[in-house]
Structure 1
Amino acid sequence: MRALPHTLRKAAAPVGTQVRVRIDGPAGGTWTVTAPGSRWPLAEPDGGRPAAAGHLDAETAWRRCTRGIQPATALTRARIDGGHDLAEAVCQIASIVY
């Protein structure tokens, strides 16, 4: 999920907007990014309700991060709460996996 801030770099949102991503499984977890201005760093949630939340199973997250599936496919497999535009941006994630 370290790629999440980079993935959201072009997503416009008011300062303080939070996006939360939850991945199931042993390597999963919950990550939150907060828009403090022009960047989206990973940060501890402030306890408020995020503007968007995405929940992915581990298989979908792994395949999307390694470009094994298209963003549209990841989006159909995700459970989304809140802002659809931000959730779509989350499903664009791609990572370098060592």
Structure 2
Amino acid sequence: MKTLTRSELALLLVWAFREQRVESTATPHADALTLYCNVMALPVAEAATVVSHARNGEIPPSDPVALARWTKGLTLLRDMLEQPLCTLTTLGPANNTFKNRAA
């Protein structure tokens, strides 16, 4: 997947929170839901700033403190979205020890 720029990510956030209303719709778009879940995993101050300004469409924020939180939030979010999905493998008991104990 192509790495998103902060501008592209900001537009996606506005799309998810303002246009798709990911927080209140019964069946949100899958991409909007992915963005929402990752934003909720950000530190509280950054998540609150990202959500607030994405809902209002005010990107980037004009307040210097909000701008710093917005920038940090987008950077963290972009890093999170670039991570590959983990692969889970279910392993059985080694050397059939479970089966031997059950017998």
Give TM-score, length-normalised by structure 1.
0.29
Give TM-score, length-normalised by structure 2.
0.28
Structure number having the greater strand percentage = 1
Larger Rg: 2
Structure number having the greater helix percentage = 2
